[in-house]
Structure 1
């Protein structure tokens, strides 16, 4: 997707996060990189949901990047409040949460992308955001994580997360994805089934390993009892 041209109107990106260190670092980076003047961007920073809603009431916001963990009103409720009045505004979740149940909950919301702080720098996220321009040009992926989350994904239940993995570049994608947003690989239906079967077989293997260990412990106990007799 092409970057914003110099003559285009200014695109306002609202960053909602209570982490002062993160936001201050991001402000410094934006100033040094001159990303706002280069790409007709205006970056605004607020630390809570109430301030975010006030900001949206006073100026046009073209994209929102928010953390789920916010004081008083969390990110989930902020998303609901925003989408009551504007269902078209692009929303990107940028969060420190990474538990499977949290990822599953985030994936159930109608947002454009989800990125984990552990794997994606805020600076890189702004670069991604400025390339996406307006809501009509953004791919609705529900959840798209950095490929490094593959490790987390493999250590949890793939069916619980309701995600699929690109067989070519291993990017984690939404369950209804037809193409990979990263490499363009077509996601075949049988490939989705294969991933699900793989998850089930992995679970069975783990159960088998556990049973083997338990049987070893039982045999050791029996041997000790025989010796004591």
Structure 2
């Protein structure tokens, strides 16, 4: 267990899935966590309540990350919740996917929304967060394995590739302040975005056959990696992408 006692964190897209698991893990390590959500206030409140029941500290903040003007409200609520404390950890997790945004089906509207949430928002959330962050702070961007294996959803893949570039640039420009910036890149993980894993048992078995550890991921698997980067244990790692995927596509599928 890493120790974040006395630290603070903002996790975007934290009301469910991987974001919720990250918020719960950082809170269990001792951080005060700002649980960002876009629309599902009920889920955000449930995440905050779960953290508090477990003995942690959290509060909810809202913004539709597709709307740049809503960052004003997000950071006003964040400052209120921090009550004068700095922001030690930023996790850019929120993302959307459009399965119709293939090379044949992509539209300008789909492109604009995907890049607004998956690329523009992390850039400008980070821009606003940096003045609140002390030297030695932590930034973790949650990307995707689609940056190195091909899928038809080209626009989503492009947006995640841009996020990886953001990580390397920020790590370079802010290393002088001791701020580490890293990417956690989940493999095939059980989330609402990948509902097909639970809807179709055969699909889950098919994934297991191409993963060395024999199963698809769970949100907690990703959260544990984020916790490492957020902690003092990750102090000498920056500008890196960690593939958290159980050994996805290491070789031809096993016959087992």
TM over 0.5, shorter chain: no
Higher RCO (CA-CA < 8 Å; seq separation 6+)? 2
Larger radius of gyration: 1
| TM-score, normalising length: structure 2 | 0.37
